[in-house]
Structure 1
Amino acid sequence: MEEVFVAMKLVFSVAVVGILSWIFYVYGNLWHESQRVRKRLQMQGIKGPPPSFLHGNLPDMQRIQSQAKAASTSNSNHSDQFLAHDYTATLFPYFEHWRKQYGLLYTYSTGMKQHLYVNQPDLVREMNQSITLDLGKPTYITNKLAPMLGNGILRANGLSWAQQRKLVAAEFFMDKVKGMVGLMIESAQPLLLKWEQLIESQGSATAEVKVDVNLRGFSADVISRVCFGHSYSKGKEVFSKLRSIQKAMSKHGGFLFGLSSFRDKLKHFSSNKQNEIAGLEKEIESLIWELVEERKRECSETSSSEKDLMQLLLEAAMTDQSLGKDFSKRFIVDNCKTIYFAGHETTAVAASWCLMLLALHPEWQTRIRTEVAELCPNGVPDADSVPLLKTVAMVIKEVLRLYPPAAFVSREAYEDIQIGNLNVPKGVCLWTLIPTLHRDPDIWGPDANEFKPERFSGGVSKACKFPHAYVPFGLGTRLCLGKNFAMVQLKVVLALIISKFSFSLSPSYRHSPAYRMIVEPGHGVHIIIQKI
């Protein structure tokens, strides 16, 4: 018996040594390849922080983040001064720390993955206008986003992305979006009525509102009506579950970096988070397909010529015979998930930032109110008057400059590629930090940190030195397909709110931008409303 035990112990020891040897061999090769790529970048004059073995610059990033968190203090001042504080120094302090050291182009690594920080305007333009399919979304990020977005257009790369863009893009052209204005106005009515009733119920001239919650409901209702031809109530579960996935994924460390510490990985996989996310993913897909099937039955029973977005996408997918039935179903479900999240969450957050800044600047509320009264029939925007709302457009553009919901433009080189005079090796991920680009005094002038919508009076081309440095919706071939939809929706809801209410920032508002896959108000936006 003792001999058997010794033999088993020996076999186990050999197995452990073998596994460890294999791990070190794999990691050694990956490390060697990472260093080779880093050297190719350095030979082009690109500098960056020296990496540690296996972990790269992750320990530095974690240390800098901890220091920034310890140094940050709660700021309850409602003056414009807090807007001069660049929140990237709090949310992404390592990028700011290295930018001051190495400039607008530098390299760093997360474990075995090599990255390029690219904030030079000329390179940003070249990167975003590249038409090669060898440059796409970073795979390690898109893999993590799969539960939320499936393989929809926001996550897809290569030929899959090209096929989906061809099918989806036409449904968001401005002529189609203008036809959605009536639905947007219908969706806003419950919000306006709720605020009116809130003021009345309190028996005073004013009431405090946490607007981000209400704006999520409005935006979700718009998406439900546009996608499925019915109100928010039927799609409520989908939005709720997507929000739960978003929160669960945002809490998981290493989402951006591509590699957590080993302890974080063990903690993550030993928890129920993975199972929770997988369960939510299945439930969302099932709910969406139930809505699709229900809508198909409704359409077969009516002779209405009005088609919602889901019907148009389904027809587009079915028309292309080369794609097959399985692709059609997957295409519909995944892109509904994408539209639900990207179309609802980012627009609601942008609207919240708009109301926060307008609360600080009541003179712009007055200007918008005057414009809406002059251009909109009975003070209500329609398809013809929305494009004429120039003041509203200027405010929205300035808000998206200071508080773009998307913090990054990110790409990965699937093959060696040339961007301008830069040779990017295969596997390198490129990152452009949008808020830093949007607040650069060399691009926007000395008032870059100030809220000045008038800078857009002559359009983006006259607002700054390099128009291609304004990228709230991205640039080039991967420009956000929902740009027209988002802009029209923001114009409609702002015009309706401001024509009925004046508002100021509540004393309970805490300015604390937070990164939860998008940059949103960490504690919500509280305003004091008064009926006009």
Structure 2
Amino acid sequence: MEITTVSVLGVAAIFLFYTWRILNWLWFKPKKIEKFLRDQGLKGTPYRFFYGDLKEIAQMMNEAKSKPMNLTHDIAPRVSPFFYKSLATLGKSCFTWMGTKPVVHISEPTMIREVLTNYNKYQKARGVNPITKLLLRGLIDVEGDQWVKHRKIINPAFHVEKLKHMIPAFYVSCNEMIHKWEKVLSQQRKCEVDVWPYLQTFSSDVISRTAFGSSFEEGRKIFELQREQAVLVVKVVNSIYIPGSRFLPTRINKRMKEIGQQVSGSIKNIINKRIAAMKAGEASHDDLLGILLDSNYKEINQHGNNNSGLSIEEVIEECRLFYFAGQETTGNMLVWTMILLAQDTEWHTRARDEVLCVFGAKNPDIDGLSNLRVINNIFNEVLRLYPPLAILRRLVHNETKLGNLTLPAGTLIQINTLLLHHDKDMWHEYVNEFKPKRFSEGVSKITKGQAVYLPFGGGPRICIGQNFALLEAKMALANDFVTLFFLSIAIILACSAHNAYSSTSVWRSVDSTHTVSNVSHIL
């Protein structure tokens, strides 16, 4: 009898213990953090049991995307409707909730610089659902000493001296795209062209040629699978994660694992062929994969230890990152550049004249592309109005002092890049207008050296591929400027006529910006 009583009491104690832990996780701890943040003068949304603000975020996003979008550069209410409303109501520094986690929004330049500079203290916010790891890992995901190792080995692949050898690949891919447009135009006097699929193919082709020395056809399946994986990841992120649910045989879980295996297998086959060719003395070191493998082997030989380099699995992850990060960003930037130049004939003329002056009848080269100052200002303004990432997130693992704030362990820090780039206090009354002249004296001059312009992030973890992306985009414009301008005019007219984002690639790229942001901030 006594044993039975002890057993019952033991079970009851265990039940109460775990019940308390669950209630503390779902209610008491978030409410305590909420009070702690409010006591410091921060305004924020009230914590809602379990979901936080996730339901409202999803609802407002669905409502925003269901409506037509006018020809305006004020895209924040569409791309980030919940955060746009929250910061407008609560202030530029405030807090919201991602499930049970507090999200502190910062806009003070000194705070932003501190967060982006101290990458060990403010680490990338990991996805709540571990299954998101099936999309991307590699450099974007590792921390501490692992990040230092990955960055050191990958750096040579994106050095300017290496990039100049990739200019011919940019040129070939760009010519193929333009020849397709010319073929369409030769069949009829005028036509409406949806350039977005062509630009996707162009950026994908560039990655295939420069990363693996292959054509787009060889990498087509990888691109398609990665895009499908990104859509599935966004669905997972926008739902509440229940620990262990990734092991359930749901349709999404099974498909994501299947895609992950297929992509890894395809890339591994490419790598194995390259390694075999290198051993036979047949491989070229002019593409990203060749440079990466060469840099990796040098690092291993220098230290005489395999652990000092990347494993084959890690090389595969870096290649997956090449594919994903190198595709959407450049395509989005190019389509928006075309649209903005089609609307502004003065800047179109200035850019065209600069290209003709620098190159004349010559094929674009690295020196000429680097001297396109007008186009560089145009790209800076495009990236301000339409940054690749709408938000940047970091996580603090321990209680941390940031400016005048004390942040509890587990707090997410959010930098709203899109809202920052459209901040009237920073960019003045013409904030939502296309004015490349604002960058004529350089980024540092207009920003006064403050961390308020972050198209590629900032600090030591700034995007390693930014020079690659800008060179690729410059080649696309310089190669046949007149053709690009003509077709962008057709897009603008189509947008005005249909007045619906779903009927044209223009607004699909707005929604693509949101999709990429959703993917990036969870990794």
2:255 counterpart of 1:276: yes
Q: Sequence identity of aligned pairs in percent?
A: 28
Which residue of structure 2 aligns with residue 517 of structure 1?
515
CA distance in 2, matches of 1:137, 1:518: 16
2:76 is the alignment partner of 1:88: yes
User: Would the alpha carbon gap of residues 377 and 292 (structure 1) be closer, same or farther in structure 2, given more than 3 Å must change?
Assistant: farther
2:31 — aligned with what?
A: 35
Question: Which of 256, 270, 274 lines up with 1:291 in the alignment?
Answer: 270
1:169 aligned onto 2:155? yes
Write out per-residue CA displacement over residues 261-300 of structure 1, whole angstroms, 9 at most, x where no aligned residue: x8xx999967411101110000000000001112223344
Instruction: Give the partner amino acid of 1:236.
Output: R
Classify the secondary structure of the residue corresponding to 1:115.
strand
Indicate which of 72, 79, 97 corresponds to 1:109. 97
Question: Which runs of 5 or more residues in structure 1 are unaligned?
Answer: 1-13, 521-532
* Worse overlay, 485-494 or 105-114: 105-114
1:508 alignment partner in structure 2: 494
Aligned partner of 2:170: which letter? M
Aligned partner of 2:102: which letter? Q
Alignment correspondent of 2:433:
450
- Within 5 A, what are the aligned runs for 1:27-426? 27-30=22-25, 31-62=27-58, 64-65=60-61, 68-69=63-64, 73-75=67-69, 77-78=70-71, 82-83=72-73, 86-131=74-119, 133-140=120-127, 143-149=130-136, 151-202=137-188, 204=189, 206-252=190-236, 254=238, 259=240, 271-303=250-282, 306-318=285-297, 319-320=299-300, 321-324=304-307, 327-426=310-409
SS of equivalent to 1:54: coil
8 Å contact from structure 1 (residues 406, 519) kept in 2: yes
* More helix, by proportion: 2
Q: 2:464 aligns with which of 464, 478, 481?
A: 481
The CA deviation at 1:226 is 1.4
CA apart distance, 1:438 = 0.2
Indicate how the Cα distance of structure 1 residues 33 and 251 shifts in structure 2: closer, same or farther if over 3 A, else same: closer
How far is 1:19 from its partner?
10
Tell whether the 8 Å contact from 1:238 to 1:287 is kept in structure 2 after alignment: yes
Query: How far 1:18 moved relative to its partner?
Result: 10
**2: CA distance between counterparts of 1:253 and 1:299?**
41
- The letter for the 1-side match of 2:221 is E
Cα displacement (A) at 1:176: 2.0
Alpha-carbon distance between aligned partners in 2 of 1:366 and 1:379, rounded to the nearest angstrom: 19
Paired AA for residue 427 in structure 2: W
> What TM-score results when the alignment is normalised by the length of structure 2?
0.85
Q: Residue by residue, what CA displacement relative to the aligned partner does 1:103-137 show, whole Å, maximum 9, x if unpaired?
A: 11111222321211112223212211224x13211
1:289 aligned partner, one-letter code: K
Shift of the 443–241 alpha-carbon distance from structure 1 to 2, 3 Å rule, reads same
SS in 2 for 1:312: helix
Partners of 1:268 and 1:209 in 2: how far apart? 44
> Which is further off, 122-131 or 470-479?
122-131
Tell me how many residue pairs correspond in the alignment.
490
Is the contact between residue 285 and residue 291 of structure 2 (CA under 8 Å) also seen in structure 1? no
Q: Give a deviation string over 1:446-491, Cα, whole Å, max 9, x none.
A: 1000011111111112234564200000010110001111111111
**Which stretches in structure 2 are left out of the alignment for 5+ residues?**
1-8, 502-506, 519-523
Relative to structure 1, the CA distance from residue 251 to residue 359 in structure 2 (aligned partners, 3 Å threshold; closer, same or farther) is farther
| Counterparts of 1:458 and 1:366, CA distance in 2 | 20
1:517 shift after superposition: 2.7
* Distance (Å, rounded) in 2 between the aligned partners of 1:156 and 1:91: 28
| Stretch deviating more after TM superposition (292-301 or 106-115) | 292-301
* RMSD, aligned α-carbons: 3.0
Task: Give the letter aligned to residue 348 of structure 2.
Answer: Q
**In 1: Cα distance, 2:165 partner to 2:208 partner:** 15
Q: If each structure's strand is expressed as a fraction of its own residues, which one has the higher value? A: 1
* 1:91–1:448 CA distance, 2 compared to 1 (3 A): same
How big is the shift at 1:100? 1.9
Which residue identity lines up with residue 442 of structure 1 in the other structure?
A: D
Residues 59 and 493 of structure 1: is their aligned pair in 2 closer, same or farther, counting only changes over 3 Å? closer
Look up the SS of the partner of 1:284 in the other structure. Answer: helix
Structure 1 residues 141, 465: CA separation in 2 closer, same or farther (over 3 Å shift)? farther
Deviation track 1:62-112 (CA, whole Å, cap 9, x = no partner) reads 55556x549x7424x55xxx22xx322223222122212221111122232
Shift of 1:233: 1.7
Letter in structure 2 aligned against 1:488: L
